Amino acid sequence: MAEYKWPEADKRVHLGKRISRIDGPEKVAGRAKYAYDINRPGMLFGKIVRSPYAHAKITSIDTSAAERIPGVRAVKIIQGPGTEIQWAGDEIVAIAAVDEGAAEDAARAVKIEYERLPHLVNEQDRSSIPDSALIPTAESVVGDPAKAFSEADVTVEGVYGNEVITHCCLESHGQIAEWTDENNVLLHPSTQSVSSVGGQLAQSLRIPAGNVHVKMDHIGGGFGSKFQIDRWGVECANLSKLAGGKPVKLMLERDAELTVAGVRPSIRARVKVGAKKDGTLTAWESETWGTGGQGGFGTLPVPYVWTGIPNQRKNQTTVKTNTGPARAWRAPNHPQVCLITMAALDDLSAELKMDPLDFFIKNIAMTGVRAKVYEEELLKAAEMIEWKKNWHPRGEGGAGPIKRGLGLSIHTWGGGPHASDCDLTIHPDGAVEVKMGTQDLGTGTRTVLRIVAAETLGLPLDAVKVMIGDNRFPVSGSSGGSTTVGGISSSTRRASTDALNQLLAKVAPDLNAQADQLEAVGGRIQVIGDSSRGMTWKQACAKLGTQPLTVRGKQPGQGTLASSGVGGAQMADVSVDIETGVVKVNKFVAVQDCGLVIDEKTAESQVFGAMIMGVCFSLYEERIMDDRTGRVLNPNMEFYKLAGIGDVGEMKVHFMKGPGYDDRGVIGLGEPPTVSPGAALSNAVANAIGVRVGTLPMTPDRVLAALARKGGSNAKI
């Protein structure tokens, strides 16, 4: 009888293999339907009129001209006169019309008057920020930092930072909402939370939570920005109601997507670190600030990973700005604090004239419980990038204008399983279905469900039908925090195990055996190790009679199938043209621990994707705010720059697997490899050109400015 544990390595049929994602064919064929693609009969198109001002009070709204535009079916004021607007792009009026052209014409016909108020949209220059916009947190001290710095042989101080970036989901936020009768809503959202978003909408609409039916087959990117129904979701349903229940499609335009649909907070930091001349790290002091719009972003975990530095002093300030609100962004806060920590330590190792790899390993015990993992990963990554052969002391990047350098970083993440229910049904004809109210963000969730069920039931992959993306399926958690794979694989393993055990009990008498003497392998039920005493899966299922067997599996539940806490190491090899400041990635390697890997192919894609996103925010992307107008200057994909296929260099991924890793069970992977790229690339650039480019993204202007600070490497061309 199967137990609640993962099979041993030599028994795994599908688990851990390289399996192509099961929804791949429909995606490449253009058949996969995202919310944006849903066309419903009689569907109207929604548009939102937004504030042009970053801080203003609405004094009047006149929608009469908009209402007269032919084809307009609903006009709704979202925020009325008297409301104080806190960021440009905030929603004021919603409109639905029979086609997009009419909706757009109507949106432009709305007349809104404002009383403008002073705004603050940038926080780069700390000295120019009024006190009223600063929210400090209490100073935190460990040990005796003053004494430690006075006794340090080597001290370095640096300023580091990363600009605000957006999620820039390719499928913008939005949904289609329709009232199927006067009490029920059908919602096609683009969401990371199929099971909860309907309840959120129902609450806003004051209808019972069960009256919102949510359906979503595919989502075009979320990265932490799509957990909520959002105001535009509620207003979409309101427009539908005003229009007699007709379906309304309301998807954010790209400029709104980049202005109001979520950002990752910036970070700025002054960091001082000290060490003994033998390289022993002794002291940390940091003052950090940043902005995520009007809200805060929690206490930053600094020093990152190196929590065991014996003496620390930490200050943090949140700057309130009149900018679009922050949302969770893939590993919230971690990439920023990783940058400021690993960059400061890299600068310290350079000052000590130590190879940072040696410096990191010498002090690795200060990273705590995962020290051994980090050390193994660093050594593996060093092998992959030929660190010892290619590394040179800082600034000795070669003759000529193109300088080459290496950099490294380590990171951690939790990734424990979220709560998840799974229904597994075995039909008398042998068909198997997995049903779950989860979502596949492109991480491979469907594929994982199929692998786990097929593995457990001893079936080929295509014998399992996976049904997700519907809030009438068993409840499963939001896809955030890298919690999905652990949660959904655990509940599916339990459901599959219980279902199999019930089936084995049914067929045991026919095989003259006890249920716990049976196994499911190769599409058969048989006595363990004896293929002569068995029957086909179909024959076994026929014993169910006329009723299918459905079993609910849960996470949390018995047995440990998933856990939490991973480490990773990344190393980058870059070239910098010191005449132009243009940085190119030559090679970028990642070594990652994520417990038991269920599908190596899609897992690898997660890591590649995280590294590429890292290249984007390290070299190219930043939200640019205009001080005077208070608006985003680059709410488009032309100047909100992402890396292209020729911009990311050669990439390699290695998973830490086998004893000590697999036996921890499944751990989430989506976020951790996104944490280190900024630090690894920043350190590589510093190694190449001999000076720190303090702020990401490392654009030519910033690289040349750093070189000029160093003493004019770029003074001559």
Q: What residues numbered 71-90 form the site for other proteins, per CB under 8 A?
A: 88-89
Burial group, residue 242, by CB count within 10 angstroms (0-12, 13-18, 19+): middle
State which of residues 106, 194, 256, 513 lies at the interface with other proteins (CB under 8 A): 256
Of 3-11, 31-39, 312-320, 508-516: span binding other proteins (CB under 8 A): 31-39
Tell me if 33 contacts other proteins by CB under 8 A.
yes
- Which of positions 409-438 make contact with other proteins (CB under 8 A)? none
Tokens 């490497």 locate to 713
CA distance 409 to 568: 8
CB of 281 to other proteins, least distance (A): 33
Q: In this complex, which beta carbon is closest to other proteins, that of residue 23 or of residue 123?
A: 23
CB of 699 to other proteins, least distance (A): 7
CA distance 171 to 36: 7
Tokens 């009070």 locate to 57
Q: Give Cβ neighbours of residue 319 (< 8 Å, ≥ 6 apart).
A: 120, 123, 129, 133, 134, 135, 289, 290, 291
**E strand or H helix at 520, and its extent?**
strand 518-521
CB of 326 to other proteins, least distance (A): 18
- Which of positions 335-354 make contact with other proteins (CB under 8 A)? none
Tell me if 24 contacts other proteins by CB under 8 A.
yes
CA distance 445 to 222: 14
Q: In this complex, which beta carbon is closest to other proteins, that of residue 311 or of residue 602?
A: 602
Of 203-211, 440-448, 452-460, 555-563: span binding other proteins (CB under 8 A): 440-448
DSSP letter (8 states) at residue 616: I
Nearest to 551 by CA among 493, 495, 474, 472: 495
- Which of positions 457-516 make contact with other proteins (CB under 8 A)? none
Tell me if 107 contacts other proteins by CB under 8 A.
yes
Tell me if 39 contacts other proteins by CB under 8 A.
yes
x/- letters, 136..175, toward other proteins (CB under 8 A): --------------------------------xxxxx---
Q: In this complex, which beta carbon is closest to other proteins, that of residue 170 or of residue 209?
A: 170
Q: In this complex, which beta carbon is closest to other proteins, that of residue 448 or of residue 619?
A: 619
State which of residues 4, 7, 9, 104 lies at the interface with other proteins (CB under 8 A): 104
Tell me if 360 contacts other proteins by CB under 8 A.
no
DSSP letter (8 states) at residue 215: B
x/- letters, 178..217, toward other proteins (CB under 8 A): ----------------------------------------
CB 201 within 8 A of CB 233: yes
CA 84, distance to chain mean position in Å, is 32
Q: In this complex, which beta carbon is closest to other proteins, that of residue 169 or of residue 305?
A: 169
State which of residues 27, 68, 276, 388 lies at the interface with other proteins (CB under 8 A): 27
> What is the edge-to-edge ordering of all strands in the sheet holding 530-536?
518-521, 524-527, 530-536
Nearest to 233 by CA among 195, 259, 204: 204
Tell me if 23 contacts other proteins by CB under 8 A.
yes
Tell me if 647 contacts other proteins by CB under 8 A.
yes
CB of 421 to other proteins, least distance (A): 25
CA distance 410 to 360: 9
CB of 588 to other proteins, least distance (A): 10
CA distance 398 to 448: 47
CB 605 within 8 A of CB 669: no
Query: Cα dist. 589→350, 357, 576, 677, 682 in Å?
Result: 22, 15, 18, 10, 15
Q: In this complex, which beta carbon is closest to other proteins, that of residue 507 or of residue 610?
A: 610
CB 266 within 8 A of CB 160: no
Q: In this complex, which beta carbon is closest to other proteins, that of residue 214 or of residue 613?
A: 613
Q: What is the CA radius of gyration of the chain?
A: 28
State which of residues 501, 624, 663, 664 lies at the interface with other proteins (CB under 8 A): 624
Q: In this complex, which beta carbon is closest to other proteins, that of residue 248 or of residue 354?
A: 248
Burial group, residue 28, by CB count within 10 angstroms (0-12, 13-18, 19+): exposed
Query: Cα dist. 177→39, 43, 131, 650 in Å?
Result: 11, 10, 43, 44
Nearest to 502 by CA among 538, 541, 560: 541
Tell me if 99 contacts other proteins by CB under 8 A.
yes
Helices 700-710 and 677-689, packing angle to 10 deg: 40
Q: In this complex, which beta carbon is closest to other proteins, that of residue 29 or of residue 138?
A: 29
Q: In this complex, which beta carbon is closest to other proteins, that of residue 156 or of residue 613?
A: 613
- Which of positions 108-127 make contact with other proteins (CB under 8 A)? 108
> 303: cis peptide before it, omega within 30°?
yes
- Between strands 524-527 and 530-536, the pairing is antiparallel
CB of 625 to other proteins, least distance (A): 8
Specify the 3-state DSSP secondary structure of 105: helix
- Which of positions 698-717 make contact with other proteins (CB under 8 A)? 699-701, 704-705, 714, 716-717
Tell me if 65 contacts other proteins by CB under 8 A.
no
CB of 567 to other proteins, least distance (A): 21
Q: In this complex, which beta carbon is closest to other proteins, that of residue 108 or of residue 392?
A: 108
Tell me if 51 contacts other proteins by CB under 8 A.
yes
Of 126-134, 356-364, 518-526, 606-614: span binding other proteins (CB under 8 A): 606-614
Instruction: Name the CA dihedral angle for 187, 446, 664, 366, rounded to a multiple of 10 degrees.
Output: -60
Tokens representing 2? 């199967």
Strand partners, 162: 267, 696
- Kindly give the residue spans of alpha helices, DSSP state H, lying in 508-594: 537-542
Tell me if 326 contacts other proteins by CB under 8 A.
no
State which of residues 49, 237, 378, 589 lies at the interface with other proteins (CB under 8 A): 49
State which of residues 383, 608, 657, 663 lies at the interface with other proteins (CB under 8 A): 608
Q: In this complex, which beta carbon is closest to other proteins, that of residue 221 or of residue 308?
A: 221
Of 197-205, 478-486, 488-496, 617-625: span binding other proteins (CB under 8 A): 617-625
Q: In this complex, which beta carbon is closest to other proteins, that of residue 408 or of residue 643?
A: 643
CB of 685 to other proteins, least distance (A): 14
CB 409 within 8 A of CB 679: yes
Q: In this complex, which beta carbon is closest to other proteins, that of residue 37 or of residue 516?
A: 37
- Which of positions 236-255 make contact with other proteins (CB under 8 A)? 252-255
Q: In this complex, which beta carbon is closest to other proteins, that of residue 176 or of residue 504?
A: 176
State which of residues 130, 147, 627, 660 lies at the interface with other proteins (CB under 8 A): 627
Beta-strand runs (E) in 182-292:
184-189, 212-214, 248-251, 263-264, 267-275, 281-291
Query: Cα dist. 300→50, 210, 291, 352, 567 in Å?
Result: 33, 38, 13, 27, 18
Of 234-242, 505-513, 527-535, 611-619: span binding other proteins (CB under 8 A): 611-619
Tell me if 220 contacts other proteins by CB under 8 A.
yes
Q: In this complex, which beta carbon is closest to other proteins, that of residue 404 or of residue 702?
A: 702
- Which of positions 571-600 make contact with other proteins (CB under 8 A)? 579-582
Tell me if 691 contacts other proteins by CB under 8 A.
no
Binding footprint of other proteins, residue count (CB under 8 A):
100
